[in-house]
Structure 1
Amino acid sequence: MPPHAFVHFAEPEAARRAAAGSELLVKRARPAHGGSLRRAARRRGAEPFRFAGSRAEVGNLWEPDDFAVAWRAPEPGDSAAPGGLDFVVDPLDDTCRLVFSRDVAFAFPGSRGASAVLRCDVKLEFSFLDVAEVLAFQNDDSLLLRLSAAPLLYYRTAADDVHQPVPFDLLDDDDDDPWIRTTDITPSGAIGRCWVYRVSFKTWLWPEMKDALAYMKGQQVPVVLCGIGCRGLNVNDEPAFGQPTDDLFFSVQYEGLRFPVLFLVNVLVHKGIVNEHQLTSEFFGLLEKEEDDVNVAALTELLGEKFQVFYLCRRLKNVQIRAAENNKLLRLHGSRKVTGDHNAEVRSMVITPTRAYCLPPQVELSNRVIRHYHRVADRFLRVTFMDEGMQPLNINALNLYAAPIVKDMMSNLLQQKTTVHRRVRTILTKGFHMCGRKYSFLAFSSNQLRKRSAWFFAEDGTTTTASIREWMGQFPSNNVAKHAARMGQCFTSSYATVLIQPYEVNEFLEDVEHNGHNFSDGIGKITPGLAMEVAKRLPLMHNYPPSAYQIRYAGFKGVLAVWPGQNDGIRISLRPSMRKFESTHSVLEVVSWTKFQPAFLNRQIITLLTSLGVPDSIFWQMQGAMLHNLDRILSDRDAAYQVVTTSCSEHGTIPGLMLSAGFTPETEPHLKAMLLAIKSSQLQGLLEKTKIFVPKGRWLMGCLDELGILEQGQCFVRASVPSLNKYFGKHGSRFSSGNKSAEVIVGTIVMAKNPCLHPGDVRILEAVDVPELHHLVDCLVFPKKGLRPHPNEASGSDLDGDIYFVTWDENLVPPRKQSWTPMDYSPVHARQLLRGVRQHDIIDFFLRNMVSEVLGPISNAHVVHADRSKYGAMDDKCIQLAELAATAVDFPKTGKIVTMPPFLRPQEYPDFMGKEDDISYKSEKILGRLYRSIQQYMLVRSLEDFSRNDVPYDTNLEVPGASLFLEDAWQCKCLYESKLNRLLNQYSVRTEAELVTGEIWSLTERNKRRKNEIKERLKHAYSKLHQEFRNIFESIGADHGESPEEKKVLVYEMKASAWYQVTYHPKWIQALRETSEFDGKEMPARLSFPWIAVDYLTRIKIRRRGQADAISRDRGLRFKRRFSEGCEVSWMPEARPLYHFALPT
């Protein structure tokens, strides 16, 4: 780092003059370069609460009153810190800090082991969000802070060279001498394995401490003040106090336990539910006595705890008994884990600068590698590098930056790395030990690269990382980026479907190339027969195959669209552009497929459309219409039905069916909760992302007009109409239509692909009706004619599975009705090695991505400059940022690193971006006005509470014979809810309705940054839970298994009624309250269980309402079709049959 100094000026004019005359500054006959720095730090509104001369101890609780100390911070009188430690509670950013000085030995490169000892300031910082509880003890002047995450650790050289001769306070800003992130500073790894911090302070500081605690309590931190008479803690050093450890992850080892059980013990320890002091010989003895499946179920139940479990052995015995009973119940029903060919139980680990967290195994969609190596599937471990508190690992934690002004002024400033970076590199290169296994780096997918995640594997002597890579295929030999990307292709989550013989594949379907462009990049063909065969292997609820599949086959990737074959035995046709590497794998794997996907605007699309001339009033009206429907979602069945069937994709099925059968949110609390979850989620989308629903729009998969009918500037769109008939596929052909209702779009359409930053990324095309293309539903079909492929014009995309925003709303078509000149998306030349790619090259590539990832900051800067400029996205700065973003997006393919110039970095942000830690301003453009209108809406209309103590019971859902199934239903319900509660607690989701609908909105602030990832995990996890209990529901025993279809239906209706009764009947609700435990509070009623059989409950409801002649005749709604014998539809839009739902009119 070049020599530098910082000068604060009392007057802005003095700073300006000094910067203007900086060339006159001379030191030792050399000119000194000067420059000004616009301070982006927020000025303080309140001074921090500072408690000097404090003491701090880090440890764990053995029992509620026993605190075991693992490390002590320097105390007053120590030579390195004569003043002791400062404990700070800071209202500026709602953090607590422990700050002290210590001597640190630094080794220098090339010094052959020589080191220098420097006095450094050390800071431990944690957010209020990470404080689970504060106990304040007046009898010994101490606080006990129980954390849910490790603090951030920093150091910097001690501030003994600061000269401050002015008589006033300078702006408190750490930019002058920036804090540098580091790893655990304690010899015993106390910060990485302990959860409790004890801070002692001087008695005379109690009045200020009470003010600080009052402030924390006002910020939702649980604070308990223990008076003089309160019993204090027993404080003792742990047995191995101060002893160094070389265990990176503080993993629990015990030879008497098998891996699945031992891994879960580590999950409990890493989550803080138990600590190593509680793992006694009695604890391990209890585990050794039971079978593995009982222990796995018991330990998994303990994972649902929010706080530390005391008296562990007693608790373990109880959950083991319950787990054994539940396992017997599952065996009785013949139930098994919902894995099969498509899914796998995946173990994961999160590594932070100071800790490692084993995560509970999750059933996830599998991939090619894990399916092939299923016998050793438990040896694969997905490792993600994150910051403390499960936050994204910021590049500032990995890079040692000079102060921003120095970095901006100096060219070619060498980037130094922190000890956090060294920790990550060490783990990637040397691996680590966990649960008696040595894990080594294997590979990563492109999606994992973005998330800073990779696969590790524990070799077993037979299967090695080298043998796995060899089996995967032959990858590009001298291009590191492509080599890594092609390896990652094998780890794409996918459904294994049909084995394709080599003679059934045409690998040489000619690419459509002219004018230097490939119009068919990434797309091939599949025959209708094979498409149907593939559809039967997928979790589809309808009888018709999708029109296109995104696939992986051997070394090919891309899309296969349905086209008639030529009776030559060829079932799939692949193009050279789809071939990425050589492989002999022959199973067709499906990643995704065409389906109904409602369209929503976002900030990027709105920014481009406004820049192209679409009036602000259009977006204002569209948001208003959306709010109008959400406002009526509980009071107007038509409005509710429209919202759930048109804007909720597949998640609107259950509430849609309930509404159509006559259930109302006024009398059905689960329906109400689901509608409120949908409303809350969509409001949150409006507030945080300006996600405005577009009724005349879809997200569509890109395909090619193989017939060559479409001309340049044309496209074909046939969009499916929302339908609920798919849910009745198992009720026989009379209840399920084999055709997919769809609408051909004709006229001007607007299309774009995310991310879209350039005005030319929005394309205006003409949708035409081509009968020969009618079989392509939910596709955006592009021409193979023209000067340049339309997909390439839109954000440089192609046809290998990209999804496009499409709208035919004429109000969203820019006035010129012509596309802006597209950006040049010619690929950047990838760096080539003069030798073959080696393992360390792949690791270096992974690390370069971690320390240089800038796509997010580029996108944010684009938003700021577009909002500030009267030219919007057409501003020169926005165009430059769009070009940078295009290069950054392709980093996984090219390895090209992008650097954002200082002049493009924002100094302040519009209010709608919600950047509370930065200077913000009130945006006067449409995004700002839309944002503030939603803020106001949510203030005026506070959401209703989901929970209710009274649960109405619907006697219409009672059927004769249901009593035979009540006991079994009760047992199933208890088991279901124990698993459901674990899911809710694991991610702190507020309501079960969010899980059922997939509309997750109540994540904690800490989890919101990973919202999309967590939503996908939760949706998949609940889907598997739902499927597991749907399988249980459909297991009706040998007595009924061979019965005619009509008798089976009656049995299913009895069972569905029984499931409803044990959930809703007051007698069973009271039984649940008497047996439940939920943090010492009454557990809210869980109501989703019976609706796993929603199709049968709606049958019962419709028939019983019909028999009672309780028919709603409002607005001409009436019975229209026989549902089953003596059963009719009670509420449907006029002239619409039940099993072919269209939009209500």
Structure 2
Amino acid sequence: MEVFLARLPPIDEDQLRKELKPHLEALSISEYYCSKPRGKDIAWVRFVDASDGSRFLQRHGELLPSDGRSAFLRASSRRLLIANSLVVAKESNRQLDEKFLDHLKLEQKRRAEKAQKADRKNQPAAASSSFTVSSVACGKNIFVQKDSQLSFVSQTSTSTSCCAKITRRALIVGSDADGFRIDIPYNIIQDFIVAWQCQKITLVLTEAPRFYEIVKSQTVDANYELMEKRGWARETHFAKLPGHTRCVPQCLVYQFQVADQDFEQLVRRWTNQKYVSITRYDLLAEPYTGIPDDFYASWMKVFESELKDPTRHRGLPFPFLFQVQGLVWNNYLHPSDGHRMLEGMAGAIRVCRAKGAGLPFSVESMKRLRQRIPYPCPGVEPGQLDVSELLEIILNKEIIPSKGGTPQSECYRTTLPSHQAWVMRAIVTPTRILLDGPDPESKNQILRKYSHYADYFLRCSFCDEDGQDLAFNPNVLNDRIYDRYKEVMRAGIQIADRRYMFLGFSHSSLRAHSVWFMAPFMDDKWGLQSCSSVIRGLGDFDAIRVPAKCAARIGQAFSETPFSVPVSSLGIGSRSIPDVKSKDGSRVFSDGVGTISAEAMELFWEYLPPQLKTTAPTCFQIRWAGAKGMIALDSSLKGKVFCIRNESMRKFISSDVAEMGICDTSSRPLRLWLNRPMIKILEDMGTNPEWFLELQKKELENLRAVTVDIAKTSVFLRQQSIATPMGFPSFLKHLDGIDIDYRDDDFMRAVVENTVLRELRSLRHKARIPVNKGVTLFGIMDETGFLKENEVYITFDKSQEKISRLPREGPVLVTRSPALHPGDIQLVQLARPPKDSPLWDLQNCIVFSQHGERDVPSKLSGGDLDGDIYNVIWDSEAMPKKPFDPADYPRVTAPTLDRPVTSRDIIDFFINFMKTDILGLIATRHVTMADYNTEGTLSSECLDLAELHSTAVDSSKTGIPVDNRSLPKAPRYRPDFLSPATPLKVYDIGQVELNEEDDDDGDDDGMGVVKHRYYESKKILGRLYRSVDEKKIWAEDVKQHDRAEGGDIWEELLSIPKTLVWKNKLDVDYKRQTDKAWEIRNMYESSVSDLMYQFSENPRRPISEVEVFCGFILDRHGKQTRRQRDLSSKLREEIDRTMSWIVKMMQDPEGDEGEDSVSRQKGVLELCWACLVVGCVDDNERMNSEYTVGGLRSFRILAAGCVFKQLELFLSMIPQDGKEPATGGFVGVRGGSGGKKVTLPLR
């Protein structure tokens, strides 16, 4: 039942709920829901049980007069008192929303589960704590003298009195009534220091708080009258603090004076809530230190002026200046310490130069130094922050790793592969600029062209303080943040004596809100290179008068092209061929794809890395001379030639024709994974729901078996590409062969569990379900003309696991992500070409026909052939009953300028794109409306959203954004499958647990953010979501293993080589290689530690070693963000490269890949064995512990894999007892404290 309330006083929905609570509790009513439109005096109260509504009206409903006339206007007829006002209460005449009833049932179920959980824990729900703050100060914690006590030095303060509140997730200082607020999430609090005597709390933060102010604006109401509107605006600083803009970037210690009388009770309450750990410590305050108020600001001026002066520290190469400036800007060092650091480093270099020696430190050692600098918190010793002692670390304890070859620069001890360059990075947030790197990244056309000047280029990202995109909230204005971003892009970034100015961005980096900056330099021909000259060198862009399109064309040079082919020096020619169009010329069937001859293709292979060269790809995604797209093998072409279609591929005129950049290749087929939009469209097309459920059931069974069946564990890890360069999947299987359970090692168990959890959460929260009778491939066009309209030819490597064989003929489904329109999935027919057709020479691609009225790719959410990948399904159970016509949106004409585009135009476009980038919002609204409406994706709202999504996708090239006000209004309720994921608790070693605490924050955030309400979806996405009980599977199938009693598995593994050497009477002694083994361990762990910091969104909070080892970042709060997905992709590449390098150092220490002689292999075996031994040494016992990273666990896994492989190889070369060399495993070896019989099978 629904009850209508009217004549309400001016209160909001939350206040109404509080006012109603005692009335309803008196009637023992707990299941209800109230909603109140903002600014109106009416509301509705809905009851799950109709009898509850009747009882409420019996007591509080309006009294009808005896004459039967309406009592609506009579106050005497009202019996419900709300905020001291009598209000009307009567039965509503609205029809109850079915989704509302589903919502109430779901809420009832969830409340019961929470109550049950609370009963088990016997813990009441914690309430928020409010208190009064009488003053706020911002400054730094420092040690005034080397042996002094830690002191807080205020740089700015205010006596403004305000309220503060501790909620579940943040400390909030200020409120709507105060006109401002400061949000400090707990996860950025490094230390929460409480001083009892003076009633102060001091927060040492890892990043800046979020600052807000109430702003007033005017709007027009329904009667066309001006009305004042109040709302929140995000700020770059706290305006109440005088001069806060000067110190907000690096002063991350905030102190609050608490005015409450019972401070002790308040602290006790905070302690019991356990939201944050509390440190009791009396910091010295500035009256006792005698330090002036402008101590920080004055030293920052000195430091930055010194860096800008090119005559100072001439002997200090720029990468070190960049890193020291980063130490200061990133809040590692005080500017005065940065000044002393520069002087000490320059002096050390002068001493080394005088002796004719090289540099006494490197970029790598400086990066590791950064990891050693602690936060200035209680418990930290003054010496840990003393510059002279920090200098000692890098000067005397320098690790000198070498990956072979000649270093590119004396600043670096590491030689990168030819396709990578050292890249410096800047991160611009609402309050500060952070500097990070240099780190290795794949080259693009610019970095390849100016490879000797890489440090003159700077990758710059724009994000929130936590490294994520600036959150979109329609109730919070972010204009001042975007104004700051624009100011940085226009003014540039001053780093030492260089000013980096905006240069450009690729399409992918635009989506990632990242750009390239550049500082001017003199090239090797004494020509001055600046932003304008570099862009002129790319081509002629004057004819392009649309800023977005001009930016996209310039951006082709910034697309990552890991490999390049010197086509000119190889004598590979180019031709221009016409596009293939429909009869009326309106459709381009060859949009974005050209051809290449077999002879030229084979030359291309020589410039690919070994793992790609062996796959012999026949399709290449390229960038060349202003052209972009695909070139695919046409074996009918003769000679060394490739063909470009100027109309669809050539985007601008360029004379830079010497090299062709390769972005990607068709080296292997990709497995097909369903997603929510695809599943919803298939459901609307009539695909049997049981097909989805059966696929999900199979995947769930596989995941459940991963941690139980070692064979499935190995296969699963190999499919997920976890540590494959060192053979980790096979290593676990080999451990099982010698009766060792990998789960008895915390680290290896964490690796498997993290990987299973990632897939389990993707299965539940993304509906990411694998399809064996499906594949994902690059799309190209049939150059032969054999395929008829609506026919395709599909070819892929049949050796790939988990991809079933393709039928010879029949219907297949083809689509492309993102698919939102019901016609974005099409039925086409398989065809087999004649035996002598050139199509047979292609591999790992889907070939579309060049005949018909419209090309198939354009039917699939506006696809083309310039590098798009297509999903294909041939499972007969998936075939739909009713396919739909594809979308056909009109082409959007972008407004043009009457002059050439300038960099300011492109900057304005970039900022506006960030402001209006709501692709994610549109996609979420679409999947919500598709489930909410009976018509699904065919509903008018979903069709409108699909078109808006297409407009938003194209806005990166048209510059025409989507106005969020044009989106169909969101339903009041969301389907349950959009509920947030359970947060994770992550422990030091990388082990994770699902957080059992209630993740629904009951506190009002005060920002007008809608608290989503959910209903139980009856459609297929809801059924799939509820079929995966991640908590149950995690507890019963993944975490059920109990560690075996007895010795450490590493003691047992260490005994195996010793036993085998003794039994076979071999002259093998690992001690001869111990020093080299320590060097390798230090190199590996230094690299892993660098990756832990490099791929963290906060430079001072590293990701775990397990995440680095796995090659993906596990989000603590639910599903991965876009930035985390991008970082994970690069992390996988880097850890694979590191593992390959270390394994090669163990197995080929000489670096010459010489003959496999017995003496050579004996030395390799000794080194691998020594690596295993030193890898098992605890940090307390290890050599050179003062400069090694410490606390890492994965090196011994790499070493163990290498030593056992080497043992088998070596013993197979040694005749035993006059017999031929062994060819099998090590049978009958007993090792370890348990004295088991060990059989080590061959790989």
SS in 2 for 1:180: strand
Q: Distance in 2 between matches of 1:258 and 1:129?
A: 37
Residue of structure 1 equivalent to 2:370: 303
1:107 alignment counterpart: none
CA distance, structure 1, for counterparts of residue 1226 and residue 893 of structure 2: 73
Residue of structure 1 in register with 2:1080 after alignment: 972
Residue 495 of structure 1 corresponds to 562
Amino acid at match of 2:262: L
| Structure 1 residues 188-219: Cα deviation after superposition (integer angstroms, max 9, x where no partner) | 522221121222213623255225523652x4
Q: Which amino acid aligns with 1:883?
A: E
Give, in angstroms, the shift of residue 1026 of structure 1: 3.1
Q: Which amino acid aligns with 2:247?
A: A
Q: Per the alignment, do residues 812 and 1067 of structure 1 end up closer, same or farther by CA in structure 2, a change over 3 Å counting?
A: closer
1:871–1:1055 distance in 2 versus 1, CA, 3 Å: farther
For 1:682 and 1:652, the matched residues in 2 are separated by 21
Q: Indicate how the Cα distance of structure 1 residues 124 and 994 shifts in structure 2: closer, same or farther if over 3 A, else same.
A: closer
SS at match of 1:708: coil
Alpha carbons of structure 1 residues 1065 and 69: separation in structure 2 relative to 1, 3 Å: closer
- In structure 2, what residue type is equivalent to 1:493? E
Contact 1:701 1:801 in 2 (8 A): yes
Matched residue type, 1:1063: L
| Range with bigger deviation, 678-687 or 996-1005 | 996-1005
Cα-to-partner distance string for 1:950-978 (whole Å, 9 max, x where unaligned):
52416555775463433212211122112
Whether the aligned pair in 1 keeps the contact of 2:464 and 2:470 (CA below 8 Å) is yes
**Which of 1156, 1161, 1185 is the aligned partner of 1:1046?**
1156
SS of corresponding position for 2:603 = helix
Counterpart CA distance in 2 for 1:445 and 1:368 is 11
Q: Give the conservation status (yes or no) of the 8 Å contact 1:68–1:238.
A: no
The CA distance in 2 between the partners of 1:862 and 1:533, in whole Å, is 47
Shift of 1:934: 3.4
Deviation at 1:387, TM superposition (A): 1.3
Residue 49 of structure 1 aligns with an amino acid whose one-letter code is S
Partner of 1:145: 203
| Equivalent residue number for residue 953 of structure 2 | 889
- Whether contact under 8 Å (2:215, 2:231) holds in the other structure is no
What RMSD in Å do the two structures reach over aligned CA positions?
4.3
In 1, distance between residues paired with 2:303 and 2:469?
22
Q: Deviations 1:628-664 (Å, cap 9, x if unpaired)?
A: 1122223324323442344549959833443676756
More divergent stretch after superposition (744-753 vs 1062-1071): 1062-1071
CA positional deviation for 1:499: 1.6
**Structure 1 unaligned spans of 5+:** 22-37, 76-80, 102-118, 160-174, 405-415, 725-739, 1112-1127, 1132-1137, 1139-1145
User: CA separation of 1:872/1:536 partners in 2, compared to 1, >3 Å: closer, same or farther?
Assistant: same
CA contact (8 A) 2:521 2:529 kept: yes
Q: 1:277 to 1:333 in 2, by over 3 A?
A: closer
- Using structure 1 for the length normalisation, give the TM-score: 0.80
Aligned counterpart, 2:929 = 865
Taking the aligned partners of 1:1110 and 1:526, their CA distance within structure 2 comes to 57
Contact 2:676 2:766 in 1 (8 A): yes
Tell me the SS of whatever aligns to 1:623: helix
What residue in structure 1 maps to residue 445 of structure 2? 368
Counterpart for residue 1030 of structure 2: 935
Q: Give 1:100-119 correspondences, 5 Å limit.
A: none
> What is the deviation of 1:322?
6.0
Q: Which moved more, 1:46-55 or 1:703-712?
A: 46-55
Are the counterparts in 1 of residues 815 and 826 from structure 2 also a CA contact under 8 Å?
yes
Residue identity opposite 1:1090 in structure 2: A
How many Å apart are 1:1073 and its aligned residue?
A: 5.2
Structure 2 residue matching 1:177: 3-state secondary structure: strand
Task: Indicate how the Cα distance of structure 1 residues 1082 and 812 shifts in structure 2: closer, same or farther if over 3 A, else same.
Answer: same
Aligned length: 1013
TM superposition shift of 1:336: 5.9
**Structure 2 residue matching 1:821: 3-state secondary structure:** coil
Counterparts in 2 of 1:717 and 1:934: CA distance versus 1, 3 Å: farther
Matches of 1:392 and 1:14, distance apart in 2:
32
Residues 146 and 1031 of structure 1: is their aligned pair in 2 closer, same or farther, counting only changes over 3 Å?
same
1:590-628 CA-partner distances (Å, limit 9, x unpaired): 101112322221222122222222233322222221121
Structure 1 residue 96 corresponds to structure 2 residue 171: yes
Moved more, 785-794 or 1009-1018: 1009-1018
Shift of 1:720: 2.1
* Partner secondary structure for residue 561 of structure 1: strand
User: Per-residue deviation at 1:1015?
Assistant: 0.6
- Unmatched segments (≥5 aa) in structure 2: 1-8, 21-33, 44-96, 112-123, 218-227, 350-357, 377-383, 523-527, 981-999, 1001-1008, 1213-1221, 1230-1238
Q: Give, in whole Å, the separation in 1 of the partners of 2:305 and 2:1134.
A: 27
The answer to whether structure 1 residue 905 and structure 2 residue 970 are counterparts is yes
Preserved CA contact (<8 Å) 2:1143 2:1198:
no
Question: 2 CA distance for matches of 1:804 and 1:1110?
Answer: 53
Larger Rg over CA atoms? 2
Q: Are the structure 2 counterparts of residues 1080 and 303 from structure 1 closer, same or farther at C-alpha, using a change threshold of 3 Å? A: closer
Q: 1:245 to 1:829 in 2, by over 3 A?
A: farther
1:472/1:487 contact within 8 Å kept: yes
Counterpart of 1:179 in structure 2 is 232
The equivalent of 1:116 in structure 2 is none
Residue number in structure 2 paired with 1:191: 248
- The answer on whether the counterparts of 2:1168 and 2:1206 sit within 8 Å (CA) in structure 1 is no
Residue in structure 2 matched with residue 761 of structure 1 by the alignment: 824
2:1113 maps to 1:1000: yes
- 1:141 Cα shift? 1.9
**Equivalent residue of 1:124, what SS?**
strand
Task: Label 1:1051 to 1:1002 Cα distance change in 2 as closer, same or farther (>3 A).
Answer: farther
Counterpart residue number, 1:787: 853
Partner residue in 1 for 2:278: 223
* Letter in structure 2 aligned against 1:297: E
Q: Helix, strand or coil: the match of 1:787?
A: coil
Per-residue CA shift, 1:16-75, capped at 9, x if unaligned?
996899xxxxxxxxxxxxxxxx999x9999764222143222112213942343434321
1: distance between equivalents of 2:472 and 2:1112? 31
| Amino acid of the structure 2 residue aligned with 1:927 | L
Residue identity opposite 1:320 in structure 2: I
Aligned residue for 1:589?
Answer: 661
Mapped contact 2:136–2:255 kept (Cα < 8 A): yes
Which residue identity does 1:507 align to in structure 2? R
What code does the residue aligned with 1:204 have? Q
Residues 249-398 of structure 1 correspond to what in structure 2 (within 5 A)? 253-254=306-307, 255-256=312-313, 257-279=316-338, 281=340, 284-286=343-345, 288-290=347-349, 292=359, 294-305=361-372, 307-308=374-375, 310-313=384-387, 315-321=389-395, 323-327=397-401, 337-395=414-472
- The answer to whether 1:480 aligns with 2:547 is yes
| Deviations 1:307-332, CA, capped at 9 Å, x for gaps | 42733335424432565343589789
Q: Following superposition of structure 1 onto structure 2, how do residues 1084-1103 of structure 1 map, counting pairs within 5 Å?
A: 1084=1193, 1086-1090=1195-1199, 1096-1097=1205-1206, 1100=1209
SS in 2 for 1:62: strand
CA contact (8 A) 1:389 1:1006 kept: no
Segment of structure 1 superposing worse, 884-893 or 634-643 = 634-643
Distance (whole Å) between structure 2 residues aligned to residue 361 and residue 624 of structure 1: 46
Cα displacement string for residues 70-122 of structure 1 (whole angstroms, at most 9, x for unaligned residues): 434321xxxxx4xx23332123xx22122289xxxxxxxxxxxxxxxxx9823
Q: Are 2:1075 and 1:953 aligned?
A: no
Residue 1009 of structure 1: how far off its partner (Å): 5.6
Q: What are the superposed Cα offsets for residues 1003-1033 of structure 1, whole Å, 9 maximum, x if unpaired?
A: 6779856211221232233234335435544
Q: Is the 8 A contact 1:700 1:805 kept in 2?
A: yes
Evaluate the alpha carbon distance shift between residue 202 and residue 367 of structure 1 in structure 2; reply closer, same or farther with a 3 A threshold: same
Which residue of 997, 1013, 1019 maps to 1:920?
Answer: 1013
Per the alignment, do residues 529 and 985 of structure 1 end up closer, same or farther by CA in structure 2, a change over 3 Å counting? same
- TM-score scaled by structure 2? 0.74
Partners of 1:346 and 1:588 lie apart in 2 by: 22
Do the aligned partners of 2:579 and 2:645 also contact (CA within 8 Å) in 1? no
Percent identity reads 23
Q: 1:580 aligns with which of 626, 651, 659?
A: 651
Alignment correspondent of 1:427:
488
Q: Aligned partners of 1:535 and 1:128: how far apart in 2?
A: 52
5 Å-filtered alignment, 1:12-161, equals: 48-63=128-143, 65-75=149-159, 81=160, 84-91=161-168, 94-99=169-174, 121-156=179-214
Change (3 A) 1:762 1:550: same
**Cα displacement string for residues 707-761 of structure 1 (whole angstroms, at most 9, x for unaligned residues):** 122222222222324569xxxxxxxxxxxxxxx9986764432222111111111
- Asked if 1:556 corresponds to 2:624, the answer is no
